[in-house]
Amino acid sequence: KQEVTQIPAALSVPEGENLVLNCSFTDSAIYNLQWFRQDPGKGLTSLLLIQSSQREQTSGRLNASLDKSSGRSTLYIAASQPGDSATYLCAVDWGTSGSRLTFGEGTQLTVNP
């Protein structure tokens, strides 16, 4: 079964720390992987999408990497800020009909001032 796992479920760090969020998936034959941010009571905001042929993508202080052979992706956040506090979700498209996404359960990040 194709599954996506995110560990840890929650993470608390002091402001300014560099941090890594993890995402693992069971089948390496992915088409793309997408990282989202979700604030409490809100919808999902797309952060980065990595295509299967890419190793990493960067946007500002965010860097997402992809290692298909090991079934892993990481989201690196540099110089974390309290405004980064949110739940971060990764989702995988295995190229099924309709480009359906399979989501992990997310990592709830708290950045303390």
Partner 1 sequence: NAGVTQTPKFQVLKTGQSMTLQCAQDMNHNSMYWYRQDPGMGLRLIYYSASEGTTDKGEVPNGYNVSRLNKREFSLRLESAAPSQTSVYFCASKPAGYYNEQFFGPGTRLTVL
**Which of the residues 73 through 92 are near partner 1 (CB under 8 A)?**
89, 91
Phi, psi angle pair for 84, to nearest 5°: -80, -10
Q: Considering only CA atoms, give the Rg of the chain.
A: 14
Q: Does the protein bind partner 1 through residue 61 (CB under 8 A)? A: no
Residue 64: closest CA among 77, 52, 74: 74
Question: Any contact of residue 101 with partner 1 (CB under 8 A)?
Answer: yes
Non-local (6+) Cβ contacts of 61 within 8 A are 77, 78, 79
Residue 14 engages partner 1 in binding (rule: CB under 8 A)? no
Q: Can residue 44 be called a binding residue for partner 1 (CB under 8 A)?
A: yes
Q: How many residues does the chain have?
A: 113
Q: Determine if 93 is a binding residue for partner 1 (CB under 8 A).
A: yes
Which of 51, 59, 110, 112 binds partner 1 (CB under 8 A)? It is 51
Q: Residue 27: what residue type?
A: D
Binding test (CB under 8 A) with partner 1, winner from 49, 65, 68, 108: 49
- State the Cα–Cα distance between residues 69 and 67, nearest whole angstrom: 6
List interacting residues with partner 1 (CB under 8 A): 31-32, 34, 36, 42-46, 49, 51, 89, 91, 93, 95, 97-101, 103-106
